[in-house]
Structure 1
Amino acid sequence: MADRTAPVTGRWFQAESDPDAPIRLFLFHYAGSGASIYREWLPLLPADVSAQSVQLPGRQDRLREQPFTEIGPLIDELADEIEAELDDRPFGFFGHCMGSLLGYRLATEIHRRGGPSPVLLGASAWAPVGFRTPPVEQLDVPEDEIVEWARGLGSLPEEILKDRQTLDMMMPTMRADLLVCASYQDDGAPVPCPIVSYSATTDPLVEPSAMVSWASRTPEYLGNRVFPGGHFFLHQETLSITADYVRLLRRRAGASG
């Protein structure tokens, strides 16, 4: 277990925002991105919640590392890292798109090992049924086609799309992350904690009824919050999502204490 009195920093995690806070929150980024997508969350968190963004290999400060391309080995490695990082404090998971998938499978894997469960799983823009994941064979396409796909989702700013050098640096990681998502095969596994989900009205990757599939995966489904926008509504609705998720997290952490 980690020493809760010292800042925690390592290749898999950003340092805790407040190591003395009584509640922990692990944040999982979406495909093609990195831990920095949650930088706007930190100023919004109350003093009793300490956040850490998980940083997968192949991006940002881990750019020189080989990214994972299959979900099984990634979950095994990440579960090892999370278990070594945990202490006696209650904790929550939150992820967007691929991050939701990772949070879900980590919760099931750590529980399978006999480890502690998060007190709350927040799943945004992904569901176990009704998410339109590109099949593996469709990802073996030229880089320009993946760029256009990402452009259509709004995941890449125009300044990046116009910068060939930056694109060349990002695309291997984007392709690898999409392969991780495509390698997932749903087995109906439940999680031993409450789940709250978040979705958008015009997300092209999430079918309208997809979020209902979370209800059978948890002993307590806390419902779905719907926001206007497309797949990356997370960035337009940061304040609302953070406030809602943290309210539920604090309530569940208090109940577990």
Structure 2
Amino acid sequence: MTWVRCYEARPQARLRLFCFPHAGGTASAYRLWPPLLPAGVEMLAVQYPGREERFGEPALTTMAELVNGLVTGLRGELDRPFVFFGHSMGAAVAYEVALVLQRLGLPAPQRLVLSGKEAPEHVTPGAVHLRDDDGLAAELTALGGTGAAVLEHPELRELLLPIVRADYRLIETYQPTQAPPLTCPITAFVGDADPELTIEQARDWGRSTSGEFDLQVFPGDHFYLNDGRAQVVSALTRRLALAPSWPSTP
């Protein structure tokens, strides 16, 4: 399973939760989630190329490349009901993968939970990926996604920044696909002090589905889900319970 990591295999699970990381993030961003999830849910964390065990592969710099790889790579894991969760860049990736699955008539997520990302109509180009290394590091520190201590370590910084730059190029040049609305329900999560987007911009995800929509606001900045992990997973679990095939726990 090149495209996903499973931190706690649950062969009898009736529902899968796919988690898509933020820019510069890895599958291990979700490594602490499985113990917080019900026994009937198996979490698969998406691993983008260029990091951790995929370090030898080039990081992708366009949304089309990443989505095409994911649609091909995830097909074998869509053999039971599933939900997508994505944070920041990962929210946009999850949304675009869901659009392709719907267009191709492949199994679709029972719910899309999109965190820390503005709705498609609010997407604008960015230029952080054009900054020098110090400017890129400053952006990461300001968002709180990567500890200053990590960025100050020369070897780790040298490994991290090229991946971050590739991801920023991907998301800052991304143009949302013009497509009919999804039919699955969408939930938007947002931090009340997120410098990247407003609550209103998150609420507009409701226009991207013909199904139900709901919004939940959490205390915190762009990475509110780090300190509030238990609260976030609890809120996510409540949405999983709304899925038609919610697994019963023995």
What residue in structure 1 maps to residue 157 of structure 2?
167
- Classify 1:131/1:97 alpha carbon distance in 2 versus 1 (closer, same or farther; 3 Å): farther
Partner of 2:112: 121
Is 1:243 matched with 2:216? no
Residue in 1 that maps onto 2:89: 98
Structure 1 CA distance for aligned equivalents of residues 35 and 246 of structure 2: 25
* Aligned-residue identity in percent: 33
Aligned residue identity for 2:74 = I
8 Å Cα contact 1:130/1:209 also seen in 2: no
- Is 1:43 the counterpart of 2:35? The answer is yes
Assess if the C-alpha contact under 8 Å between 1:127 and 1:210 holds in 2: yes
Secondary structure, counterpart of 1:252 in structure 2: coil
- Contact kept, 8 Å, 1:23 with 1:250, in 2: the verdict is no
Residue number among 5, 24, 45 corresponding to 1:32 in the alignment? 24
Does the C-alpha gap of structure 1 residues 216 and 62 become closer, same or farther in structure 2, counting only changes over 3 Å?
A: same
Determine if contact 1:28/1:94 at 8 Å carries over to the other structure.
yes
Find the partner of 1:13 among 4, 25, 46.
4
Instruction: Identify if the C-alpha distance between structure 1 residues 162 and 199 changes in structure 2 by more than 3 Å, giving closer, same or farther.
Output: same
Structure 2 distance, partners of 1:210, 1:167, is 32
Say whether residues 1:223 and 2:214 are aligned partners.
yes
Gaps of 5+ in 1: 1-9
Q: Provide the C-alpha distance between the structure 2 equivalents of 1:150 and 1:138, rounded to a whole number of angstroms.
A: 10
How far residue 234 of structure 1 moved from its aligned partner, in angstroms, is 1.0
Partner letter of residue 126 of structure 1? K
List, as ranges, runs of 4+ consecutive aligned residues in structure 1 with deviation greater than 6 Å: none
| C-alpha distance 79-85 of structure 1, shift in aligned 2 (>3 A) | same
| Structure 1 range deviating more: 10-19 or 138-147 | 10-19
Report how far residue 85 of structure 1 moved: 2.2
Distance in 2 between residues matched to 1:91 and 1:146, nearest whole Å: 35
Distance in 1 between residues matched to 2:202 and 2:47, nearest whole Å: 26
2:182 alignment counterpart: 191
Give the 3 Å change call, closer, same or farther, for CA 130–204 of structure 1 in structure 2: farther
Alignment deviations for residues 66-113 of structure 1 (CA, whole Å, 9 cap, x no partner): 0000001111111111123221x2100001001111110010011111
1:178 corresponds to which of 168, 183, 208? 168
TM-score, normalised by the number of residues in structure 2: 0.92
Unaligned ranges ≥5, structure 2: none
Moved more, 123-132 or 44-53: 123-132
Q: How many residues align?
A: 245
Give the corresponding residue for 1:80.
72
Alpha carbons of structure 1 residues 150 and 133: separation in structure 2 relative to 1, 3 Å: farther
What does 1:142-161 correspond to in 2, within 5 Å?
142-161=132-151
Query: Structure 2 counterpart of 1:193, which letter?
Result: C
Say what the alpha-carbon RMSD is for the aligned residues: 1.8
Q: What CA distance in whole angstroms lies between the structure 2 residues aligned with 1:164 and 1:133? A: 32
Separation (CA, whole Å) in 2 of partners of 1:132 and 1:143: 24
Tell me which of 61, 82, 87 is aligned to 2:53.
61
Distance 1:70 1:46 in 2: 35
Amino acid at match of 2:20: F
Q: CA deviation at 1:128?
A: 2.3
Cα distance in structure 2, aligned partners of 1:230 and 1:104: 22
